[in-house]
Amino acid sequence: MQNPATGHAVRLLRSGGDFFPALIDACDAARHEIWLETYIFADDASGRAVADALIRSVRRGVDVRVLIDGWGARLYLSKALEQRLNDAGVDLLLYRPELESQPFRFRRLRRLHRKLCHIDGKVAFIGGINIIDDMNAPGHTPPRIDFAVRVEGPMLAQITQTMRRVRALAELSQLQDITPDDEKHPAVTAPVGTMRAKLVVRDNLNHRHAIERAYLTALGHARHEAIIACAYFFPGWRFQKALIAAAQRGVKVTLLLQGRVEYKLMHYAVRTLYERLLNAGIEIQEYHRSFLHAKVAVIDDDFATIGSSNIDPYSFLMAREANVVVNDQGFTEQLRGALRELIKDGARPVLAAQWQQRTLKTRLLSTLSHITFRLIMAITGADPENGWFPMSREAKEVREQRA
């Protein structure tokens, strides 16, 4: 895996309150092109504000290309907003558009879950924040919690390259003309700061396990503390073993997980993992104040990651994802402070003694959810080599012989 490169400036953005003004300001400063990828582009206050900024850019002569996941678009993108963007000259394309007449195929679960944007190949945004208002959540609770970063530096070359490639694949699959590479405006890769950082993507070709490996490598080297905040957490055996091994080495491992019920099957399935993790000395905090959508981690003094990838089979095995890894003590401490604040103000600890006193009904519900979830993974082609299923001794020996 490529090592982080120096020369970056990375700014932490917390939820939509930081993210949308920064994104809109960058769009308003665009001179040549804007490329945007998102899973959701909602017709709400924040979505319309971003749409307005994109339309203003088109009117100034900026080329604006937007790629939205077909499933996310079906759920959130209104026909009115889609038409408005198209009429204004935004080059809008859906990734794997959902057709109601199309029979169900499991390959349709391979979605575009990345949240990426670059402006003029000079500044980029990466994270877990969709184009949707923080208050656009079930029950209109306090704002949704999420993170993103604003990046400048050498990483822009990789960001522009991966965005062009994914859009070209989407265009090719829909028999459209491929957007040509524009050499007139290459990515600006000159050093602009001192931070070491890199982009890590997950796809179904050369980078199938890249994001998970980044986590596992960092956990394998952890010596003091690891805090992982994850909205949808259902790790495979390999990831569980890495967490437990770190805790057994004396690392203080804290998991900040979603406490509110959003998807019932996932909510109850995850809880079958709690006993094993708690018994290993891992601290579990459930966030209840609002909906947690974060996918971030800090490990020791100089490892931080922010992105779109959850620690679950959907993100690790099926979706296109993008995370940024930052090796910088100041940035890591800033993110650690934000996570500790969330734990202090809105989380409740899961205590081992209380967890063992769960009712029989609750235990059965979790077990059934767990079995159902793993069955779904098996049907959808979850990769055993990724560690999502325990392997027999014979299977391990065969795999080792093949290697």
What value does the mean pLDDT take over residues 65-84? 94
Under CATH, to which class is 199-386 assigned? alpha beta
Q: Give the CA angle between residues 135, 87, 131 to the nearest 5°.
A: 20
What value does the mean pLDDT take over residues 78-89? 97
Burial pattern 250-273, b for ≥16 Cβ within 10 A else e, equals ebebbbbbbbbeeeeebbbbbbbb
150-159 residue pLDDT tens: 999 999 999 9
7-194 and 199-386 agree in CATH topology? yes
* pTM score: 0.88
What value does the mean pLDDT take over residues 78-88? 97
Active site positions, annotated: 113, 115, 120, 293, 295, 300
What pLDDT sits at residue 13? 98
Phi first, then psi: what are they for 119, rounded to 5°? -120, 115
Residue among 56, 161, 180 nearest 116 (CA) = 161
Domain ranges (residues) in the chain: 7-194, 199-386
Distance from C-alpha of 293 to C-alpha of 287, rounded to nearest angstrom: 10
* Residues in contact with 403: Cβ distance below 8 Å, sequence separation at least 6, in sequence order: none
Confidence of residue 110 (pLDDT cuts 50, 70, 90): confident
Could you tell me the fold of the domain covering 7-194? Endonuclease; Chain A (3.30.870)
Distance from C-alpha of 64 to C-alpha of 273, rounded to nearest angstrom: 44
Confidence of residue 143 (pLDDT cuts 50, 70, 90): confident
181-218 residue pLDDT tens: 766 788 999 999 999 999 999 987 888 899 999 999 99
Phi first, then psi: what are they for 43, rounded to 5°? -90, 75
